[in-house]
Structure 1
Amino acid sequence: MTKITERLKHNRITNGYCNICGTYELLTKDHVPPKCAITLGPVLQKTVNEFFHISEPIKPLNAQHGAFFKTICSTCNNDVLGGLDKSIEDVTKVFRSKLGLYMTGTQMNPFIRIPFDSVSFTKAMIGHILSATSVEDCKVQLGENPFYTPLRSYVVGKISSFEDTHDIYYWFYPHRMHISAQSVSFMNEGHVAFICALHFFPIGFMVTIKGEGTFPAHATKLKLKDEFLIFNMTAINYEYTTFPFVNLKGDQMYAISSGHTCVSYPLIK
């Protein structure tokens, strides 16, 4: 008998604690990636472990209207993230336009610069990372957490910056599958980094603890003072575009909680 994806048990809930503001109420569906930044359509979902590592047949979750997570309240979904998603839409729209010029050889420069609102963009991306989690997290009150508490406070406007506690890296992500992941521990050359990520075409986006991150060599560090996102388009590090979920070398390894990861990929008819 074919097994059913573990994603199914992390997707069903009605009321719970919002994973951004912590209030207990009716939870709403948040599309991750936001529907304004992608072509919305049917997708299949598995956990990262099921998608990358398990060879036996796993029946995926069939999401007819894009990937969503029912983990945040309507206020955070509509008033907070809904008001910020335009910044992601603007970046992806310009990026795709410039990417077309680069792929056809019209633009030869291997760096693509995109103007953006750094605060709105980072709040929106972090907010969707926070929502892309297991419903198990919504069954208990949010406690203080040195990694997640500052991120939640930044998204809802309690603090003005993430830069005192976190670093953000981004890069060109050339794949059709979407990856979201919380609480990944990645070891490289004896150093362990704690990582959250949200990848969807054409953006790879990763959050780590300040000064302690491990990241792809072609990634760019994002600073709130930046006026442009600068994407390195050279293909030399293509194998690391799905970081941290890459072919491991040397002493590299990663540890994950399956319920906190998701791979969404197009349903091909």
Structure 2
Amino acid sequence: MGKISERLRHARISEGHCVICGSYGLLSKDHVPPRCATTIQPMFQKTVSEHYSSDEIKPINAHAGVTFKTICKNCNGNILGSLDHEIKVPIENFINLIRQYLAGVHFYGNVISTPFNAVPFLRAMVGHLLAATSVEICKNALMDSEYYTPLRKFVLGENKKIEDTHDFYYWFYPNRTQITAQQTSFFNDGHLCHCSCMHFFPIAFLITFKNEGTYPAHASKLTVDDKKLYFNMTQGNLDYVAFPFTPLKGNQMMLMTDTFTSASYPQK
């Protein structure tokens, strides 16, 4: 029997500090991606490097979808729970439009659009992505961070100026493998981009520092004033749908803390 995925060491905890609000107490399981936007089914889970480089590593058996026990009940149920509808509606609309697109319905310029409410959508997406981390973070009180503190306060509704510090990108993600990652950096021809991502069918979501992002050519930038999500459905950039976990070319490098990443795929 092969070695069990490293993710197992970073998933077991009962109480600790919530990675969103910082309160100490019992922690609850958060589905990532949120259960409102994906089918809950048995999944296998590894770290990203294990998924891409080793078939010998035995994955974690996630019987009811992938969960992270890193946030308190209030942040999970009252904050993210009240916002999840803002993810559910546009994602369901987008999936229905994809079916029409594949059936031959014409969309102008191969771009599919769907209305959404930008701020609650972003708060929910950011909150679930923050939850997708190692339980090691929960063992100590939260520290101020140039990257994470504005995001946490944004999810809590305390930061109205998230665009002063961060940029958000998204694109069509056609894969069934669900990817979450934090503490990841992508070096491209002299430029270093620090980022976090949450990819699940049919959307890839990326967070970067403001004006420092590296992202796929077909990605769209998401702002708090947007009224619609726009997805470019052209297939010319398929190698980059899982960015930053993409083939490296030329003067490129990708750095990650593997235990803060997760790749999950349906059990056959």
Q: Shorter-chain TM-score: which interval?
A: over 0.9
Partners of 1:108 and 1:151 lie apart in 2 by 35
Residue in 2 aligned with 1:191?
Answer: 191
Verify: 1:98 aligned to 2:97, yes or no: yes
Instruction: Say what the alpha-carbon RMSD is for the aligned residues.
Output: 0.8
SS of residue paired to 1:207: strand
Partners of 1:77 and 1:107 lie apart in 2 by 40
Partners of 2:124 and 2:233 lie apart in 1 by 24
Partners of 1:261 and 1:183 lie apart in 2 by 8
Verify: 1:45 aligned to 2:45, yes or no: yes
Residue in 2 aligned with 1:120?
Answer: 120
Alpha-carbon displacement from aligned partner over 1:54-95 (angstroms, at most 9, x marks no partner): 3x5010000000000000000000000001111111011000
Partners of 1:62 and 1:91 lie apart in 2 by 30
Residue in 1 aligned with 2:14?
Answer: 14
User: What amino acid maps onto 2:104 in structure 1?
Assistant: G
Q: CA deviation at 1:259?
A: 1.1
Q: CA deviation at 1:160?
A: 1.2
TM-score normalised according to structure 2 size: 0.98
Q: Which moved more, 1:230-239 or 1:64-73?
A: 230-239
Alpha-carbon displacement from aligned partner over 1:172-211 (angstroms, at most 9, x marks no partner): 0000110000010110011100000000000000000000
Partners of 1:108 and 1:118 lie apart in 2 by 23
What is the number of residues matched between the two proteins? 267
Residue in 2 aligned with 1:72?
Answer: 71
Alpha-carbon displacement from aligned partner over 1:96-141 (angstroms, at most 9, x marks no partner): 0000111111124300111000011000000011000000000011
**Identity among equivalent pairs (%):** 51
The gaps in structure 2 that reach 5 residues or longer are none
Q: CA deviation at 1:52?
A: 1.0
Residue in 1 aligned with 2:219?
Answer: 219
User: What amino acid maps onto 1:136 in structure 2?
Assistant: E
SS of residue paired to 1:4: coil
SS of residue paired to 2:162: coil
TM-score normalised according to structure 1 size: 0.98
Q: Which moved more, 1:146-155 or 1:248-257?
A: 248-257
Residue in 2 aligned with 1:111?
Answer: 111
SS of residue paired to 2:164: coil
Q: Which moved more, 1:100-109 or 1:141-150?
A: 100-109
Which runs of 4 or more aligned residues in structure 1 lie more than 2 Å from their structure 2 counterparts after TM superposition? none
SS of residue paired to 1:133: coil
The gaps in structure 1 that reach 5 residues or longer are none
Partners of 1:160 and 1:190 lie apart in 2 by 32
